[in-house]
Structures are given as structure tokens and as C-alpha cells.
Structure 1
Amino acid sequence: MKYLKIVFINLLLFGLGSCDYRYGGEPYYDYNSQYTPVIMDRADLEQSIRIIGPREIKDFGKIYIKDSLLFINEKFEGIHVVDNSDPSNPENLAFIVIPGNIDISILNDVIYADNAVDLIAIKYTGDSVIVIDRNRNIFPELPAPEGQYYSYEGSDDRPENSVIVKWILK
């Protein structure tokens, strides 16, 4: 009899634990983010990789060193290229625009970076960048800065075939 009670209680707890409305039905909470997603059309996202002149670093992320160059990520914006051959006087050379960029890596002179939900491979030649390869939808969409995944996918006001590239405070 004691064994039967334990089995019954476990089945009851397992059954209640599987009640998750995220996979159908109405959500059981009303989550309102303090941030608004910045969305970009997929076609615009894929054409947005370009090099522009140097600009001030505002919100830097990861730093990658390759030979005498520093590649400094500016969160959600792109990559600063800095000549560090003279460490006492580094020279900001250029900025590579990559919307939604958070992480970079370099292997054999090819820069691998996230472009929102895509993984891109680019070649930096000093005065231009060439997108060598793009793997679409490799990464999940960027979560809101509060750490919550806010489902903006099914929202009525979201354009079809769009991607979240960053979040801004309302």
C-alpha cells in the first residue's frame, strides 16, 4: 500500500509538472519587457555587412588580436579594426558594420561573426570586406536584456521575414 501511494504521488507530480502552456494554448503569464526589439528585414540584414570609416567605441565587447590588429566588438553593431603596431599610439582604422553582432573569432585570416541569427564568414582586406559564407538561422533570436526570451515571433505588428538585431530601452 505504501508503494502504491508513492507511485500515485509521483505520477501526480509528473502530470502536474508537464502542464506547460508554451506548447499550445494560452500563456499563463503576461510578460511585458522594458525593452523594444529593433527588427530588420532579412534581405536588408544580408546586405548590411560593409566597412565604414573609424568611429568612437561606445559599448565594447570582446577583443580579438590578430598580428598587429585588434578587432574590437561593439555589441550589436559590428567590429572596430584598430592598428596596434605601436601600442602607445593605437590607430582606429575602420568599422565593420554587422548588425546583431556579439561574438567574433578569426581563423586563417577569415573572420567568423554572428550576424543576429546567422553565422557569417568574412574576409577583411583593409579597405573592404567580402562575405565568404553565410549560414542562416544558426543562433536563436536575441533575448531581451532582462534575460527573458520574449516571443516576438507571433506578434501581429512584426513584419514577416524579419530578425531582431538588438533591444533598446523603452
Structure 2
Amino acid sequence: MRQLYLFCLSLALAGCIGNADSISPVMSVSYVPRLMAREQLESAAVGLPPQALHHPGKIFISNRYLFVNEQYQGIHIFDNADPAHPKAVQFLRIPGNVDLAVRGSLLYADSGPDLVTFDISDPAQARVAGRTRNALPELSPPILGMPLPTAYQPANRPANTVIVGWDKR
């Protein structure tokens, strides 16, 4: 029985060996950071009318509300009282946003390296309640281990700019 197993395994592995010329090259994907002036970043966090979902990320549920991250753009708020028909309530524009948490009537969101707090006691009228500058590490590249291009190292990029997203090159 063991000999039969080894024979079948060797046949299976033999199918993995081929001509190196027949292997297609792996596509190299690279990203460049999207920069924003710090003063623009700080004034951009606001509540807006509902918007369409394009690149949703994390979802957070609190009471009857759904909070859906829009990658690097902000957070959609939905009233989910009727789960069969969630109702869009507001979009919080938060450049550089990828994560969120809610506790009580406060929503915490990253905005690039900053932590922004929103008062969501009335989710239809959410508003910025505070900002802590540089509370978080800079946004990492989307590919694990990808180094930050030299031109975008903090010492080499325009003064007072922060990374708020990554664009595929």
C-alpha cells in the first residue's frame, strides 16, 4: 500500500515539473502613495449626503446602524432597522480612512496618521468632535512588505503632506 501511495505521489509531482519557458511571468504590481496637504486633510472630514458604495471595506454594526468603510475615502452610515431594506443616512468624508470603531455615541476613525472622533448621537447629523494628530502609524502600502518608494519617504516629499491612500500604478 505504501508503495502505491509513493507511486501516485511521484506521478502527481511529475506533472508539476515543466519547461521554464512555458511558465508565464508574474505580473509586477506596484503602488504609489496618494498625498494630501495636512491642512486639507484636517478640513476635509465632514458629513455629506449619502453616496454610492464603490470600494467597501470594513463593516461595523452598532445598535440599528451599519457603518461601512469606503477604502481611503470615508464611512457610509446606514439605518438598518429593516435589514431587508437598509437606508443610507449619511457619508462621512474622511480622507485616508481604512478602519473604524464605535463606542456609545462616538465613532473613531483613522484619517491617514490622525485619529478623528465623530459625535454620532444623531447619525444623520454626525459631526467631527475631535482630532488627534499623528496618533497612528502612516498608512502602509497595500502589499505586505512593500517598501515606501524613496521619493515618498517623509524627508523627500513635499512638506506638510501625509499619505491618505494608495493608487495602483
Q: Which residue of 1 aligns with 2:8?
A: none
TM superposition shift of 1:68: 1.1
CA distance in 2, matches of 1:128, 1:85: 18
Q: Which residue of 2 aligns with 1:165?
A: 164
Gapped runs of 5+ residues in structure 2? 1-28
CA distance in 2, matches of 1:146, 1:63: 21
Q: Which residue of 1 aligns with 2:147?
A: 149
List aligned pairs for 1:89-104, cutoff 5 A.
89-104=85-100
TM superposition shift of 1:141: 1.3
User: 2:134 is matched by which residue type in structure 1?
Assistant: N
- Between the two proteins, what is the percent identity of the paired residues? 37
Which stretch of structure 1 is more off in the superposition, 79-88 or 58-67? Answer: 58-67
> Within the alignment, does 1:108 sit opposite 2:139 as a pair?
no
List aligned pairs for 1:10-21, cutoff 5 A.
none
Which stretch of structure 1 is more off in the superposition, 40-49 or 140-149? Answer: 140-149
SS of structure 2 residue aligned to 1:58: coil
CA distance in 1, matches of 2:118, 2:159: 27
> Within the alignment, does 1:38 sit opposite 2:37 as a pair?
no
Q: TM-score, normalised by structure 1?
A: 0.74
TM superposition shift of 1:80: 0.5
> Within the alignment, does 1:62 sit opposite 2:63 as a pair?
no
Gapped runs of 5+ residues in structure 1? 1-32
Q: CA RMSD in A?
A: 1.8
TM superposition shift of 1:50: 0.9
TM superposition shift of 1:49: 0.8
Q: TM-score, normalised by structure 2?
A: 0.75
Contact 1:59–1:75 at 8 Å: present in 2 too? yes
Which stretch of structure 1 is more off in the superposition, 130-139 or 105-114? Answer: 130-139
The change in CA–CA distance for 1:119 and 1:60 in structure 2 (over 3 A counts) is: same
SS of structure 1 residue aligned to 2:72: coil
TM superposition shift of 1:130: 2.4
User: 1:166 is matched by which residue type in structure 2?
Assistant: G
Can you list the C-alpha shifts for 1:70-98, whole angstroms capped at 9, x where unaligned?
Answer: 11111111100011111111111211101
SS of structure 1 residue aligned to 2:141: coil
Can you list the C-alpha shifts for 1:93-137, whole angstroms capped at 9, x where unaligned?
Answer: 211101111111111210011111011111133443322221111
Q: Which residue of 1 aligns with 2:129?
A: 132
SS of structure 1 residue aligned to 2:142: coil
Pick one of 39, 53, 75 that aligns with 1:79.
Answer: 75
